[in-house]
């Protein structure tokens, strides 16, 4: 160890005192040490790749946690919102809820209808409050939407119109833990599309 340490010190001394001899000094130092140095470099490269891959995996773990297995930062998504409207009476039919019907219509238009569906694969996310019926959630998922339950946003602002009580909860669309996408387009459930919204030729 002492002898090798002296060799290392000698190399740096020669590099500083005699710059013209630095290459030869390095050559004498490396000699038979090329293989260990190469292995060390390979180890550092693989370690860096592993660290970045692990960080990327955290994004996919988050997406998997909310039921999205193929999302990543930088991709775009379309989001709509569905709150409880008619669940107060047990004899109501799901289709009596006009907002639920609107959400299904959006899913059909964006994911299936030849005239208006996405030209490029794009997720449709439906944010739902805790009291939206399981049957509605399942139907939306069967339609191809991604259903994500969100907590209500509490506030003390007087709301005189009952159907607007949950309006503040729409702000959950800006929560990256619930909607982990780089770009998000929010649409209400009373929107009707006339052409694909990702058609660049149709933009003005």
Q: Are 79 and 114 in contact (CB under 8 A)?
A: no
- pTM of the predicted model, to two decimals? 0.60
Tokens describing residue 68: 């999205």
* Residue 44, both tokens: 């550092």
Looking at residue 84, what is its pLDDT? 80
pLDDT in tens, 103-134: 999 999 999 999 999 998 899 999 999 989 99
Query: CA 51, CA 45: separation in Å to the nearest integer?
Result: 10
Determine the Cα–Cα distance for residues 179 and 77; give it in Å rounded to an integer.
8
Residues of the chain with pLDDT under 50: 1-23, 26, 51-73, 201-204
Going along the chain from its start, the domains and CATH numbers come out as 2-65 (no CATH), 76-202 (3.90.550.10)
- What pLDDT is stored for residue 12 in this prediction? 41
- The predicted structure's pLDDT at residue 36: 65
Main-chain phi, psi angles of 29, to 5 degrees: -70, -45
């Amino acid at each position: 160890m002492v002898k090798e340490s002296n060799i290392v010190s000698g190399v740096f001394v020669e590099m500083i005192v005699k710059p013209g001899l630095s290459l030869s000094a390095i050559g004498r130092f490396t000699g038979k040490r090329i293989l260990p140095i190469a292995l060390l470099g390979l180890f550092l490269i693989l370690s860096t790749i592993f660290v970045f891959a692990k960080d990327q995996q955290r994004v996919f773990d988050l997406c998997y946690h909310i039921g999205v297995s193929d999302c990543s930062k930088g991709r775009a998504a379309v989001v709509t919102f569905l709150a409880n409207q008619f669940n107060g009476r047990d004899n109501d039919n799901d289709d009596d809820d006009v907002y639920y019907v609107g959400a299904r219509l959006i899913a059909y238009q964006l994911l299936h209808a030849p005239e208006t569906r996405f030209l490029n694969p794009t997720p449709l996310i439906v944010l739902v409050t805790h009291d939206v019926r399981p049957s509605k959630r399942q139907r939306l998922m069967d339609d191809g939407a991604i259903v994500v339950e969100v907590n209500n946003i509490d506030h003390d602002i007087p709301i005189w119109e009952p159907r607007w009580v949950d309006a503040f909860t729409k702000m959950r669309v800006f929560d990256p833990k619930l909607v982990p996408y780089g770009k998000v387009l929010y649409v209400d459930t009373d929107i009707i599309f006339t052409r694909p919204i990702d058609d660049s030729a149709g933009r003005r």
